[in-house]
Amino acid sequence: MSDCCDSSCSSKKPVVDKKYRRALAIALVVNFTMFGCELVGGLSAASVSLLADAVDFLGDAGNYALSLFVLGLAPVWRSRTALVKGLTMGAYGIFVVGKAVWSASTGVVPESATMGAIGLLALAANGAVGVLLYSYRDGDANMRSVWLCTRNDMIGNVAVTLAALGVFGTGSGWPDIVVAVVMGMLALMASATVVAQSRRELGRMSADGRVV
C-alpha cells in the first residue's frame, strides 16, 4: 500500500513553504516595478542593454507569477511550468541577441549616465530578491528556474553598469551591444539548464507510473 501511495504522490498537493511564497510575491512586485523603470530609461537613453534587461524583468515577473500559481499544485504541474519558463527564457535570449545585432547596424551611442544610474538601482533591487531566494536555489526545476532568473538578473545589472562606464569612456555604443549579447547568451544557457531538468523530472514521473 505504501508503494502504491508513493507512486501517486504527484496528484497530491505539497506543503507550501510560506516564506518561499512571500519571497516570490516580493520578487514579483520588484520585477514588475523595475520593468517600468528600465523600459523608460532604456528608451530615453537609447540603450539596448537596458531594454534587454527591462524585457528580462517583465519575463521574470511573469515567471514569479506562474511560480506562485503552481506552488501548491502537484509536482508534475511545477515541472511543466518550469519547462514553459525555460522555453520562455530561450525566446528572450534570442530576442536580445537579435536586438543587439540590429543596434550594431544603426551605430547609436546610448546615454551613459542614465544607463549607470538605472543599472545600479536594478542591481540593488535584484540583490534584495536574491537574498530572499538564495536558500531555495537547489529545489525542483521550478525553484531552480526562479533562482537562475534572479542570478542572471544580478549578473546583467553589473554588466549594464560596466557597459555604462565603457560607453562613457569610449564614446562608442559597442560596450552596450556586447553586454546585451552576453545577457542573451546567459538566458539561452539558463534556458537549456531548466528545460533539461524539467524534462528529467517529467521523465522520472512517467517511468514511476505517475500521471503526467
Are the beta carbons of 198 and 86 closer than 8 angstroms?
yes
Q: What is the pLDDT of residues 25-51, one digit of tens each?
A: 998 999 999 989 998 998 888 888 888
Percentage of the residues of the chain whose pLDDT score is greater than 70: 86
Answer whether residue 65 is part of any domain: yes
How many domains does the structure of the chain reveal?
1
All 3 cell numbers of residue 101?
545585432
How many Cβ atoms are within 10 Å of 182's Cβ, its own excluded?
Answer: 19
Answer whether residue 212 is part of any domain: no
How many Cβ atoms are within 10 Å of 9's Cβ, its own excluded?
Answer: 14
The predicted structure's pLDDT at residue 207: 62
Residue 210 binned pLDDT confidence (cut-offs 50, 70, 90): low
CATH classification of the domain holding 78: 1.20.1510.10
How many Cβ atoms are within 10 Å of 192's Cβ, its own excluded?
Answer: 14
Q: Which of 52-61, 82-91, 113-122, 143-152 has the highest mean pLDDT?
A: 113-122
Answer whether residue 1 is part of any domain: no
Phi-psi region of 43 (alpha: psi -120 to 50; beta: other; left: phi over 0): alpha
Question: 93: domain range?
Answer: 16-207
